[in-house]
Chains A and B, each alone.
Chain A
Amino acid sequence: MTNKLNNCETCPVHQSTYLKKLGVNMDRWDYVLALAGNPNTGKSTVFNALTGLRQHTGNWPGKTVTRTEGGFIYQEKRYKIVDLPGTYSLLSTSTDEEVARNFILFGKPDVTVIVMDATRVERNLNLTLQILEITDRIVICLNLMDEARRHQLRIDERKLSKELGVPVIPTSARKGEGIDELLRAIHEVANGLYVCKPHHITSGSKSLKRAVSQLVEKIENRFSGISNAHWIALRLLEGDPRIIEAVKKGELDNLYQRIENTETK
């Protein structure tokens, strides 16, 4: 694996030759990336690897509290990248979870990169599955692969990609391994070359399924073309005040227009 990568780096068509790190200099951009994931999975390291910034990284959860932004150019497209605070879920109401969720939902990133800890796949999947409900433009960065190897873990990333319906790229961002593949996957999803078919949570009881489908129908009628009606329905059933407000204010309407715009682009 490492050898293969090293050979690639000497090759003239090496992906990184298309990468230009912009730091914080972004006047305009073609695509917005959101970087989400559990705390302490190396989001900031991935962020630094892409932008060339040296955002302070530390081995402890909750280091990034606010959003950090940076940029890069890849294959002549300008990307703005937003490093979101690490969270374990998007369901409860703490500030960092709300920052992360609202950005993924209302910030309308073109691609959401979910950074997962390869040594803790099951726990990290809890958040990943929730994000998969909200957006369908996702790349999973399965980070800390070096740690996983050290702990004798073998992860079938192809099967994971198939299960989740989105690209899964194994990386060790600390060592710069897999960043090229990650960039290519981001490029493909952003430009619609790869269409994700994200896994959806198989929601429990019959009465719930009925209630959800009833609501989904109404939501889809109201906001035609909406991609996350299922999730919105669940949030409304739970009485999530922020989503109720969004329906009232017609923020979801903008969301749908935006999706339509990008599709016609």
Chain B
Amino acid sequence: MKNQVDNIIEKNKITDEEILETANSLRWDLGENLHDSLLESIYQDAAEISEKVVTKVDEKPRFDWDRTLDRLLTSRWTGFPIMLLILTIVFWITISGANVPSALLASFLIDTIHPVLKDVAAYFGTPLWLDGLLIDGIYLAMAWVISVMLPPMAIFFPLFTLLEDFGYLPRVAFNLDSLFKKAGAHGKQALTMAMGYGCNAAGIIATRVIDSPRERLIAIITNNFSLCNGRWPTQILIASLFIGSMVPAALGGLVSATAVVAVALLGIILTFVTSWFLSRTILKGEASTFSLELPPYRPPKILQTLYTSLIDRTIFVLWRAIIFAVPAGAVIWLSANVMIGDQSIGEHIVNFIDPFGLLLGLNGVILFAYIIAIPANEIVIPTILMLTVMILKASGVGEGAGVMFELDDYQIYTELFAAGGWTLLTAINLMLFSLVHNPCSTAIYTIYKETKSIKWTAISTFLPLVMGIAICFFVAQIWRIFIGAG
């Protein structure tokens, strides 16, 4: 009986194909504007319902803060100056606020804890190589990363998050939208670019908001021009040492902040230029339109912001930096202490690439540091310092061969860099190279995961590297022609 019923149902059953065929034939009768008429009826229903349920309390409109602010922040004339001003203030607070806690942390972790660890190791009779690898290599690398990165991040991220919560980021996107459009890219790229200022890998994932694959690729390739938090410390330190020190101390902080903003701005310009270039060569096409909603300004929840930006961003980034500093510390110590002939491996490498480095207005130490630091930009500066000491054999400063260290006085940095043959050109080119070079390995891996294409991953990796080399080369040549040996 049951089988019979099933059979009958089976016979009368309409098949999937029948449904699709009916749909296909009906579609012909309906014409092309089905989509529009559907949208229209949705809008109409929405309007009718909202008419019924929403009432605006009749009251004389008070002074409209949102609108006045929007006029100022997105105006053609005041939008960009205000943007630059806000950025400069944020960096100025970060630079001048981070100095003291950085020095305190460094003196605690390096001057107090490090000798204690050495003593403990000596007490237990730890072999010299193990003691060196663990305490002089790995521990100091971690200590350096914490003392240099934690204070600026603990100031920068909450400030940035407050701006984000307040609703400023969409206004930035609004301001930049027309420029992106002119460059043949998607306006939402302004948002992913802003994310990149925190972390390029995060920015690259954020490009998922861009629908068109062409524009998304442009956004992915150019995200690297947003200075990520791993590179801010490099920029801030080098700017303070070489550029801030050229003016009276009182102005130093402000001038260094301006220099950092200038580099960040150059990054934005490069983003536009590269987007423009890509959209006219290998990624040809028109920019697509989209609607960007400017959300209402909301008073940021300060305590909550502090908490989430500390936990989500600061600790997260710091942890990543520490994890990458551990193997890097070991590699550095080994490269400085494993000898081939009368020189360490590190010295061989540095001497070999030094001529090329000098051609770019950099030096072998910096290039080698960038190779060691591919996993994380955060450790570039510690690596450079350590390698400089190693090459100079400057036993008077720092802790000896292959040891990352912190110098609490800026004067000593300057002397050390001067002894290493650094000039203002080296500093400027280091800042430029830090902005324009290959993404870190995490970002490269993220690009691969997002694009699933070796070709685009390779382009995203090597395009900025080639550009960085070219920029440094030209700056160095022009500098040498007009200003001197440098």
Contacts and interface: CB of A to CB of B under 8 A. Distances in A.
Q: Are A and B bound to each other?
A: yes
Interface stretch (A87-95, A105-113, A257-265): A87-95
Interface in A145-161: 147, 152-157, 159-160
A237 B34 contact: yes
Interface in B193-244: 205-206, 208-209, 211
Contact of A239 (B27, B205, B291): B27
Interface residues of B, number: 63
B45 interface: yes
Contact of B56 (A56, A129, A153, A156): A153
A154 B55 contact: yes
Interface in A103-125: 119, 121-123, 125
A222 B13 contact: yes
B27 A237 contact: yes
Is chain B's interface secondary structure helix, strand, loop, or mixed overall? Answer: helix
Contacts of A122: 46-47, 50, 54
A91 B292 CA distance: 18
Interface in A199-213: 199, 201-205, 207-208, 211
Interface string B28-71: 01100011011111111111011011111101000000000000
Contacts of A244: 20, 23
Interface string A203-244: 111011001001100110110000000000110111100001
B326 to A, nearest CB: 27
Given A54-B312, A59-B167, A221 B14 contact: yes
B45 A60 contact: no
B342 interface: no
A219 B18 CA distance: 10
B54 A155 contact: yes
B191 A248 contact: no
B227 to A, nearest CB: 19
Contacts of B29: 207, 211
Contacts of A54: 307-308, 311-312
A172 to B, nearest CB: 11
Interface in B160-202: 161, 164-167, 169-170, 173, 188, 191
B42 to A, nearest CB: 5
Nearest to B9: A224
A238 B34 contact: yes
Interface in B277-315: 291-293, 295-296, 298, 300-301, 307-308, 311-312
Interface residues of A, number: 64
B298 A147 contact: yes
A119 B296 contact: yes
B19 interface: yes
A42 B327 CA distance: 41
B53 A121 contact: yes
Contacts of A147: 296, 298
B45 A125 contact: yes
A58 B50 CA distance: 27
Contacts of B55: 153-156
B41 A61 contact: no
A65 interface: yes
Contact of B38 (A61, A155, A215, A234): A234
Interface of A: 39-40, 54, 56-62, 65-66, 88, 91, 93-96, 119, 121-123, 125-126, 128-130, 147, 152-157, 159-160, 163-164, 174, 199, 201-205, 207-208, 211, 214-215, 218-219, 221-222, 233-234, 236-239, 244, 247-248, 250
25 contacts: A54-B312, A57-B165, A59-B167, A59-B170, A60-B191, A61-B170, A62-B191, A95-B208, A96-B209, A119-B296, A122-B54, A129-B46, A147-B296, A147-B298, A152-B59, A156-B52, A199-B45, A208-B30, A221-B14, A237-B26, A237-B30, A237-B34, A238-B27, A239-B23, A247-B19
Given A54-B312, A236-B20, A238-B38, 17 more contacts: A39-B293, A40-B293, A61-B292, A96-B209, A119-B296, A122-B54, A129-B45, A152-B56, A153-B54, A153-B57, A160-B53, A202-B45, A204-B38, A211-B29, A222-B18, A237-B27, A248-B20
